[in-house]
Amino acid sequence: MATLRTALVTGASAGIGREIVRQLVQDRGMTVLATARRLDRLEDLAADLPPGKVIPCAGDLADPGFREQLWSRAEGLEGGLDLLVNNAGFGEYHDFAEQDIETIRDIFEINVMALMDLTQRAIRHMRPRGSGQILQISSNLGFVGLPYSSAYVATKHAVNGLVKSLRYELQGTGVRIWAACPGRTVSEFSRVAMGDGGVKGPLPSGARTDRVARAIVRGIDGRKTFLLTNFLAWAPVAFAKILPGPFDLIMTRWAPKHFRAEIDRARFGG
């Protein structure tokens, strides 16, 4: 397997993306082009790591013009780009029938369209070189459904379908495409997903971000197409596959009330 020296990581200002940048630099000595909307956070991250190892590039991935600019910088990295990590993404907890269509469009633009755009560019860059990796940060929700997260779940099914298909297209090219599929993780995701009303009660708990990132970074040396990062990520997917009837019964009878109550506690307190 070719040595990976450079990476582009999207959504690098917080959560899993930030930890992946940190671990790629500290554990593997890589140079990382890190992008997110918040320049101050990217600069803080760069300041915490060895000089020159993190290159901040702030902008909105929903803007095709910014993606063009970002990719030009990625191709300009010394030796070219070895690893693309499509981590940027967001969701909104909402009754789908009442969800604003523009919000749904925004979710798809970041979670699917920006990801596909950068993936296309990476393939065109890596395939002639005969090496490279494209890592999609997906979710275990790319395999199962979840009430009040329909738009987000749909995007993750799309990402997983893309990975399955491109794996065949890239066979024998030296370019590996794969997806890391975490479960619920302690990050800003849930806070953002609660919407403009803010968070007044306890947020849903989850796995530690650094441990999830550690599993993902270790997966770079593996061969899996889909990496379920821990037991909490693996268990519902395995349950749905092995016992689809009982899984569907639980999700039909228990899950809607449970997740509705969990969202309401976070939004309204109590």
Residue 94, class by beta-carbon neighbours within 10 Å (0-12 exposed, 13-18 middle, 19+ buried)? buried
For residue 123, the cross-strand partners are none
Residue of 93, 148, 152, 168 with catalytic role: 152
Single-letter code of the amino acid located at 204: P
**Three-state DSSP class for residue 148:** coil
Strand blocks (E) in the chain: 6-10, 31-36, 54-58, 83-86, 132-137, 175-181, 226-228
Q: Please state, in angstroms and as integers, the Cα–Cα distance from residue 106 to each residue in 11, 91, 121, following that order.
A: 15, 9, 21
Active site residue 152: yes
Residues noted as catalytic: 152
